Amino acid sequence: MMMQDVGPPTRNARATSVVLDAEFPQELPREPITQPEALPRERRGARRLAAGERWIARVLRTGAVTSGAMFITSLALELLPRDESVHVAIDLLRKGAASMLLVTPVARLAMAGTLLGLRGEWRYAAIAAGVIGLLALAVGAGFQA
C-alpha cells in the first residue's frame, strides 16, 4: 500500500512574474474628497443620541440625589427633641425618599421610551410603553388588594 502526500494541493503552479516598464511614483496623487466622512444628518443623530443619554443621566442623578437628601434630612431631624410634628416630618421624608428611589427607574424608562420614539425606533418605544403599562397595572392591582 502506497502513501500519498498529505496536505493541501499546490496552487499557482504556473505563476510567473511580470516586469513592469514604468516606475510607480512613491506617493500617489491625492484625489479630492467628494463625500465627508459623516453626513450632517448622521452627525445630528449622534448629537441627539448623546443629548438623550445626558437627559437620562440627569433624571437618574436627580432622583438619587433628591432621595439621598431627603433621607439625610430625616436623619438630621432625629437630633431634634421628640415632638409630634418632628415625628410626622421624619416619617414623610423617609417615605418620600423610598418613593423617589422607586419612581426614578420608571422615570428613566419613560424618558428612554420617549427618546426612542423621537428617533423613530417604534418597536423599542412600544416595549417601553408596554413595561410602563404593566407597572401601572401592577400598582393599580396592589392598591385594590
What is the tens place of the pLDDT at every residue in 45-95? Answer: 667 667 778 888 899 999 999 999 999 999 999 998 888 989 999 999 999
Same domain, yes or no: 71 and 92? no
Please give the Cα distance from 9 to 29 (Å, whole number): 41
Same domain, yes or no: 97 and 74? no
8 Å CB contact between 20 and 94: no
Domain span holding position 103: 83-144
Q: Give the list of residues 6+ apart from residue 110 with CB closer than 8 angstroms, or none.
A: 128, 132
Same domain, yes or no: 139 and 125? yes
The pTM for the full model equals: 0.57
Least confident of 28-37, 126-135, 136-145: 28-37
Q: How many domains does the chain have?
A: 2
Same domain, yes or no: 87 and 124? yes
Q: What tens digit of pLDDT does each residue of 20-37 get?
A: 666 666 666 666 656 555
126: left (phi over 0), alpha (psi -120 to 50) or beta: alpha
Same domain, yes or no: 93 and 107? yes
Same domain, yes or no: 51 and 73? yes
